[in-house]
């Protein structure tokens, strides 16, 4: 039989996990599709930690005779492996999406350059920056430099584009 202290500690840990997951959902810091996996695991751990006879029964089915709470740790390790595998697939998909987005930005930047009258094959890093205005007004020069540093590429004045 599982010692009572171990069952109480596991139940407190499981309940704490459930409360943290619910708070993350409430604060919209955890999406529902990920929360279901965490909630199911927290509930399973809570049930196994409170139902001492059930933990012993499952341990007997799996051939664990020395220390039945080891099943709780094995379940937790399997959960961590499943989460890591899931996050690896999500990360792989996001990496592919980043490559596609970078390619689309490069194509759009080339199109903007072509619309500005520059030749298309010219790389943006080889372009000459625009000349500073003739006016010695320091404020105007600072605004011009700020426009040049925007992530839209050097020479692209986004304020001159028509807005709808």
How would residue 66 be classed by pLDDT, with cut points 50, 70 and 90? confident
* pLDDT score for 36: 87
pLDDT reported for residue 121? 54
How high does pLDDT run on average in the chain?
A: 79
Q: Kindly indicate the confidence band of residue 131, based on its pLDDT and cuts at 50, 70 and 90.
A: low
pLDDT at res. 15: 96
Cα of 136 vs its chain's centroid, Å: 47
Q: What is the pLDDT of residue 164?
A: 46
The CA distance from 162 to 82, in Å, is: 50
Total-model pTM: 0.52
Higher-confidence position of 85 and 143 = 85
What are the residue boundaries of the structural domains of the chain, listed by start? 4-103
Give buried/exposed letters for 34-58 (b at 16+ CB in 10 A, else e). beeebbebbeebbebbeebeebbeb
Sorting pLDDT into bands at 50, 70 and 90, what band is 94?
very high
**What angle (nearest 5°) sits at the alpha carbon of residue 154, between those of residues 150 and 156?**
80
101 or 58, greater pLDDT:
101
Q: Is the predicted pLDDT of residue 68 greater than 70, yes or no? A: yes
pLDDT the model gives residue 103? 96
The predicted pLDDT at position 161 comes to 47
């Amino acid at each position: 039989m599982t010692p009572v202290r171990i069952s109480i500690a596991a139940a407190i840990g499981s309940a704490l996990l459930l409360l943290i997951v619910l708070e993350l959902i409430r604060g919209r810091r955890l999406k529902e599709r990920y929360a279901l996996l965490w909630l199911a695991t927290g509930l399973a751990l809570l049930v196994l930690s409170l139902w001492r006879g059930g933990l012993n029964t499952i341990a007997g089915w799996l051939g664990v005779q020395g220390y039945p709470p080891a099943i709780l740790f094995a379940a937790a390790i399997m959960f961590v492996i499943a989460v890591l595998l899931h996050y690896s697939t999500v990360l792989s998909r996001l990496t592919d999406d980043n490559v596609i987005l970078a390619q689309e930005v490069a194509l759009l930047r080339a199109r903007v350059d072509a619309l500005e009258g520059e030749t298309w094959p010219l790389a943006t890093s080889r372009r000459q920056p625009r000349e500073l205005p003739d006016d010695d007004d320091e404020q105007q020069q600072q605004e011009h430099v700020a426009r040049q540093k925007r992530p839209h590429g050097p020479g692209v004045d986004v304020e001159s584009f028509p807005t709808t």
